[in-house]
Amino acid sequence: MITGILTNIRFSAFTFKRGTAEKASFILLNQLDLILTIWAMHLGLNELNPFIQPLLAMPAMLLLVKLLIPVIIAWAVPGRFLWPMLALLALVLSWNLKELLLFLL
């Protein structure tokens, strides 16, 4: 019984066959966050995230964190467990977009 459960978790976690929409959404939302971050920096705004601030001086590390890590997370985590992260990302992106639009107006 335990081996069956472990096999199901492994099959679900380490493939894109289950939860493809959630996994693709997670990756795309992270890419949108990267685009908004770069756009905001181009406009002269400051990054408020203390984990991302040091990465702005190292563009290669910023790309690694914002491109590679979301793919690894999406590959390793079952799709249903990505829902809380998707909700948080949607809130963060909404906030960022609102702030950018207010800055431009």
Q: Can you tell me whether residue 7 is helix, strand or coil?
A: helix
Average pLDDT (75-87) is: 91
Choose between 6 and 33: higher pLDDT: 33
The number of C-alpha atoms within 13 Å of 3 and in the hemisphere containing its C-beta is 0
Rounded to a whole number of angstroms, the CA Rg of the chain reads 16
Please provide the average confidence, as pLDDT, over all residues in the chain.
85
Cα gap 45→73, rounded to integer Å: 29
Domain that holds residue 71: 2-104
**Domain count across the chain:** 1
**Whether 36 contacts 97, CB under 8 Å:** yes
The model carries a pTM of 0.78
* pLDDT above 70 (res 43): yes
Cα gap 103→93, rounded to integer Å: 15
pLDDT in tens, 8-36: 556 555 555 678 899 999 999 999 999 99
Average pLDDT (43-59) is: 86
